[in-house]
Chains A and B, each alone.
Chain A
Amino acid sequence: MIVQLRVDDRLIHGQVALVWTKELNTPGIVVANDNASTSAPVQMTLKMATPTGKKLLIRSVDESIKVFNNPKGKDMRMFALTNNIKDALKIAQNVDNILGINVANVGRFADKSEGEPEKLTNTIMVSPSEKKALEELVKVGKPTFTQVIPSNNKVSISSLLK
């Protein structure tokens, strides 16, 4: 089961490695990212960021969906990470067992080819196509919120899109 699907453009970093993996009690971390799945340097730094005692898988988005739907993972608490909303949408549309979707940090490092992104919160900046994906993500019907660190209140994404 995916305890949380988090959109975070830094993937595994201090907030995620130190704080969220403990908060969520997830022994397994899956990074679902096409670039990371083929880049040795990115994989090396992600492994470096993985907390001691946690298991890490780095897979393309399509491969990660197979991992999430693997019957062996039914009872395993997994923390899923993507670095953009479109990838999270694809996972949400193809995996049933997701307890929550957290759109945390996104857009800071995105390319600006679609123009200046729209700022929804201090940590969520969306291009028109990412915003459309965000609207679709809410429509999937799973709890979809933003919460950068556990001490922040959860804010529903639908309230940000009004």
Chain B
Amino acid sequence: MNRILVASHGKLASGLKSSIELLSGLGEKLSVIDAYIDDTDYTDQIDYFIKQLKHEPGVILTDIKGGSVNQRVVQRLLGQENKNVFVITGVNLPLVMSFVLNKDPVDRNLVDKIVAESKLEVIDWQIPDNTDKSEESNSDFFN
């Protein structure tokens, strides 16, 4: 049983799986849906993922808020008995990695924590003009 589904427009989902495999070797933990790359209806794949969870918690990660993939996932979850399937949108690699490596029970608290952490990973990284080393002290490190 897989607890994590990534669903995207095009190959973002399988691409994330490829990166997860390269970095951690744990790609098999992910189910993926690459929607709209051909004319097949991916609704069955969403339903299958939800069904194979039985009553266990699961996570569905979608690419973009308001996109049709996200809408369809939410629609398929409405009316489901399993209330522990969490939908998160705006997927990125650190977010997927956090769920793949997670060993704690998946519940609302855990999902909130992982989402909060992964938001911090989107950064405007400004290259400094000078690269003077700023020395961290040992005492900061041990605090």
A22→B101 contact, CB < 8 A: yes
Cβ of B131 within 8 Å of any chain A Cβ, yes or no, is yes
> Could you say which residues of chain A place their CB within 8 Å of the CB of B142?
70, 72-73, 76
The docked-state distance in angstroms from the alpha carbon of A63 to that of B24 is 31
Produce 1/0 per residue, B108-143, CB < 8 A to A. Answer: 000000000100110001001001110010101110
In the complex, the chain B residue whose C-beta lies closest to that of A28 is B141
Question: Are A19 and B97 in contact, CB atoms less than 8 angstroms apart?
Answer: yes
Within the complex, the shortest CB–CB distance from A115 to chain B, in Å, comes to 31
Query: Does A41 sit at the interface, judged by CB under 8 A?
Result: yes
Beta-carbon nearest neighbor of B100 in chain A: A19
Contact with B along A1-33 (1 / 0, CB 8 A): 000000000000011001100110000100000
- B-side interface residues, number (CB < 8 Å): 22
Q: Is the CB of A48 within 8 A of B97?
A: no
Specify which chain B residues have a CB less than 8 angstroms from the CB of A67 in the assembled complex: 138, 141
Please determine whether A19 and B138 come into contact, CB atoms closer than 8 angstroms. no
B25 pairs with A18, CB closer than 8 A? no
Flag whether A113 is at the interface (Cβ < 8 A).
Answer: no
Q: Could you list which residues of chain B lie within 8 angstroms of chain A, going by C-beta atoms? A: 23-26, 93-94, 97-98, 101, 117, 120-121, 125, 128, 131-133, 136, 138, 140-142
A-B contact pairs, 16 of them (CB 8 A): A15-B24, A22-B98, A23-B101, A40-B133, A41-B131, A43-B133, A44-B131, A52-B120, A53-B117, A55-B136, A56-B136, A67-B141, A72-B138, A72-B142, A149-B23, A151-B25
